[in-house]
Structure 1
Amino acid sequence: MYMSSLKHLYVQLKQYKESHKPLYFLSAMVFFWTIFDCILSYAVPLILTEHGFSATQMGFILGSSSIAGAAFDFLMCRFIKTVNFRRVFMFMFAISAVFPLILWQAKTIPIYILAMVVWGIYYDLYNFGLFDFVSCYTEKKEHAASFGIVQVFAYLAEIIAPLVASLLIVEYVDFKTFAGSAIFLLIGFLFLILLMVVTRKRKLVDLKCEDGYCAVKELPNSASQFRSWKKIGGYVFPALFLTFFLYTVDAFFWTIGPIYSEGLGLDGFNGLLLAAYALPFILAGIFVSKLTSKYGKLKVAYVAFLIGSILLSCFALVSAINPVFTIGLTFFVSMTIAISYPSLNGSYADYISEFPAIEKDVEGLEDFFTNIGYVIGPILSGFLADTLGIEKAFSAIGAIGVIFALVLIKSALRKKKLNEK
């Protein structure tokens, strides 16, 4: 649970100065690797539609990457006991290099699904490597701040990547797109080499890391896990459901967003839509803490969710007036999502601080509902795009969000009244 904003980055860099050089190399590596990843994230829906797949088929293909990631996560937890960030990141870069090669040659659904499996695996490896590095090379009290710094660089990359992608893609996705993404992957790999060099003789913060210890989660037996999740899930279900829905909306933007963007006709700046979507994530952290301290974490998350859903439901109307205006609308929708995320994370932290024994279960449930959102989101967005059109698909998920937001708010008010009695 960490805060990611430009203000946070400035404060931490001023405090750390030269003492956290490995963290800076890691952040640079993540920055360039994320640009590579997001360029291809922008290109994949376009590639699939260019090859004649329907939006629904595209959604199922993209959703398979999250299924593969979840399965790989399960296998890592079950069978891999020790992980070293160097080996993990080296493997991640090797698989990342294979991904565009498979995409370049893919023509059939099985090959595209293979590409999605590779995609899901290398993204999961990124998370494992990141957690291992932070746990072994930064003090425990600095973990949240360190994650926050890395995340700011990732968000900056997500802003830049769609703009780069739209410059590389003229009429259709061709070799330039893959070559351009490969350049960023190579630069990221060079920073990984530097990171490995500067950490070679650096003292480990946690002595357990000398034996290859890392943050791979222990997996209890399935029966006890599901019983525990069922009990705890009922208590935190509103927050979990909102987590699921927010990631579903995120999947909408990254699935059908690139297709809509390329139809804006902005001559090389079609990526502005997704850049506008990514920008609020490094801005919202500046004032979220003030809102949550004044009004409460879940209340802020619910109200922001409601406002964002109302705005998103207007997507088709705004697009009909002027498609370019949807860039501004997307920015404000994303701002509400960016407010909801840290508010939700704060509520999870509250649950954990109140009942420390359930920390692993809450984290596991949050991860599970996130994965479900990234499976359902692409499939639902593709189906709605085929049925209603892309603009109305965004409006439809916004309208559904309004209904769910009102239900969550009503439920919270009812619970508050019962507690007062």
Structure 2
Amino acid sequence: MRYSLSKTLYRSPIGAVYFFAVPIAVFHLVDSLMSYIFPIIVEESVFSNFTLGLIMGFSSLVGLFCDISFPQLIRNLTWKSKLIFGILISFLFPLLTALGRYYSLGESSILPVLLFLAASASWGVYFELVSFSKREFIVKEDKVHQYSKDWGIMYMVSEFAIIFGPIIGGLLIKLSIFQSALITVLIQIIGLSLAVAVIATLDKNEGLKIKSREKYYFNLSSELKYWLHFLRKLNTLIVASITLVFVESAFWTIGGLLGLELFGENSYIDWIVILVYSVPIILGGIIVSKLGIKTGKKRLYLTSMLLGGIFLASLLFTKDKYSVLLVVFLSSLSLSFAWPLSEAVFSDLLERLNGSKQHLIGLNLSTGSLAYILGPIIVGFLSDKVGYLSTLGIVGIIVCTVAFILMFVTPNKLQLPQKNIELLENNSSK
């Protein structure tokens, strides 16, 4: 009975997305929990927002290397293998963070930084593995190409889990570092178990097998050639994606610290800024999934960014803590349409490609990695100089400017360099 129900659910495109989103939701719950805890622990251990930015940016530097190398090194792995390996590697993040905090209480000043860098590196690797898995799943398993609905659902379910991360993190931060690490690992075990169960249920004689026995090796020059061909046609979309993720990186870098500043270290609602930022993304996901937008996605995407940037820029003139929360909510609500629509645009492009899907996924994910490399460093530097609120206001001005320019220069129809990509594919297979 259970197997029959699962197969019926799988055959429905939207049902399959919900099914896949269950372990993904747990994954994002833990990731958001650690995203909240990690900068607070690091800042308390190294006493510098700039050093904090460098350590957090390192995860994205590692992530960028993964974006460049994974399309060649792990192209034979299925989305199922990437999901499992990503979750397994994620266990290192809370464990290394706990060790870093423990040794920071002693006399050593180098060892804690090295452990935090190792934790940050594991963050970059596991997040990219799961991100590759999600994008491959959407394009491969949705046979009717309802990508706006798919990503609307994915963001709705994931963000619903993400909003509980800062709440749980705010409670765990009050415990000892090893107690909080143990609870985090237990949640991760639940997520891993759910992922295995979903894979076993959706298995269509594929499982964790590799796609082929052909061996692939990493060639930086070859991968950059793919990216350059894509960039010539998709440069405006890439700039928009980097800018959008830059906003997210700003909130996840200093949002928890801003909550502490607004409501005090003894408050149990210091996670409120992250919560208010995350909740509207659920609403945007619901609306996009219901509308099933098929045309005009890029224009709506950029309009959403422009409005969100305007609201965010107004934080330069907002001082009352409750007014700050309202502005953050309105900004995130405006931006909430951009997230699923951005992914839907990339999924449309992926559907038009053949063997080069992995390379475009890597380029897509590299926008997030670049934003998380530059974002924490820029935000950490600015917050040391002008404070957390003014920093978010400056981020808003940047978003407004970029979105406004892109609205005039982005083409209505994005063309792919199909012939050049096919030539590269043929050369690489020789």
Tell me, yes or no, whether TM beats 0.5: yes
Q: Which residue of 2 aligns with 1:309?
A: 309
The equivalent residue for 2:256 is 258
Once structures 1 and 2 are overlaid, which stretch shifts more, 38-47 or 305-314?
305-314
Match of 1:68 in 2: 62
Q: Structure 2: which amino acid aligns with 1:57?
A: T
Residue 186 in 1 paired to residue 164 in 2? no
Aligned pairs for 1:271-282 within 5 A:
271-282=271-282
Letter in 2 for 1:184: I
Question: How far is 1:189 from its partner?
Answer: 2.8
- Match of 2:389, SS state, is helix
Residues 17-416 of structure 1: pairs in structure 2 closer than 5 A: 17=9, 26-83=20-77, 88-106=82-100, 107=104, 108-130=112-134, 138=141, 140-141=143-144, 144=147, 149-170=153-174, 174-195=177-198, 197-198=200-201, 202-204=203-205, 212-213=210-211, 222-223=220-221, 225-265=223-263, 267-288=267-288, 296-318=296-318, 320=319, 322-348=320-346, 362-411=360-409
CA change 1:292–1:409 in 2 (3 A) is farther
CA contact (8 A) 2:67 2:366 kept: no
Contact 1:134-1:143 at 8 Å conserved across structures: no
Distance in 2 (CA, whole Å) between partners of 1:196 and 1:290 is 27
Deviation at 1:383, TM superposition (A): 0.8
What's the CA shift for 1:64? 0.7
> Once structures 1 and 2 are overlaid, which stretch shifts more, 155-164 or 26-35?
26-35
* CA distance 1:259–1:291, shift in 2 (3 Å): same
Distance 1:317 1:262 in 2: 20
Distance 2:406 2:286 in 1: 26
Q: Supply the distance in 2 between the matched residues of 1:39 and 1:47 (Cα, whole angstroms).
A: 12
* C-alpha contact 1:22 1:195 (8 A) present in aligned 2: no
- CA-CA distance at 1:165 after TM superposition: 1.6
Letter in 2 for 1:262: L
**Structure 2: how far apart are the matches of 1:274 and 1:384?**
19
Conserved? CA contact 2:52–2:380, under 8 Å: yes
Q: CA deviation at 1:50?
A: 0.8
* Secondary structure of 1:262's aligned partner: helix
Task: Give the SS at the match of 2:43.
Answer: helix
Post-superposition shift, 1:340? 2.0
* CA positional deviation for 1:187: 2.1
Give the C-alpha shift of residue 103 in structure 1: 0.7
Taking the aligned partners of 1:22 and 1:304, their CA distance within structure 2 comes to: 28
In the TM superposition, what whole-angstrom CA distance separates every residue of 1:185-205 from its partner, at most 9, and x where no partner exists?
A: 232233234335545xx534x
TM-aligned CA deviation for residue 367 of structure 1: 2.5
State how far apart, in whole Å, the 2-side matches of 1:87 and 1:155 are.
24
TM-score normalised to structure 1 length:
0.78
- Secondary structure of 1:314 counterpart: helix
The CA deviation at 1:104 is: 0.9
CA distance in 2, matches of 1:219, 1:73: 14
Q: Name the stretch that deviates more: 68-77 or 381-390.
A: 68-77
Deviations 1:135-168 (A, max 9, x none): 78x4644784666655433221111111222233
Give the CA RMSD over aligned residues: 3.9
Alignment CA distance shift 1:16-1:103 (3 Å): same
Cα distance, 1:364–1:296 mapped onto 2, change above 3 Å:
same
Q: Distance in 1 between matches of 2:272 and 2:385?
A: 26
**Could you tell me how far 1:371 is from its partner in structure 2?**
1.7
Q: Deviations over 1:94-138 (max 9, x none)?
A: 4322221211111332221111111111222323444666678x4
Number of the residue aligned with 1:419? none
Query: Aligned letter for 1:160?
Result: F
How many residues are treated as equivalent by the alignment? 392
Q: Please report how far the alpha carbon of residue 62 of structure 1 lies from its aligned counterpart in structure 2 after TM superposition.
A: 0.3
Amino acid of the structure 2 residue aligned with 1:249: V
Could you give the per-residue CA deviations for residues 20-74 of structure 1, whole angstroms, max 9, x where no partner exists?
A: 7987664332222321221111001100111133111111110111111222344
Q: Which runs of 5+ in 1 are unaligned?
A: 1-12, 417-421
Write the distance in 1 (CA, Å) between the matches of 2:80 and 2:255. Answer: 34
State the one-letter code of the partner of 1:50. Answer: E
Please tell me whether the aligned partners of residues 151 and 344 of structure 2 are also in contact (alpha carbons under 8 angstroms): no
Inter-partner Cα distance in structure 1 for 2:73 and 2:96: 27
Q: Relative to 1, partners in 2 of residues 1:173 and 1:22: Cα closer, same or farther, differing over 3 Å?
A: farther
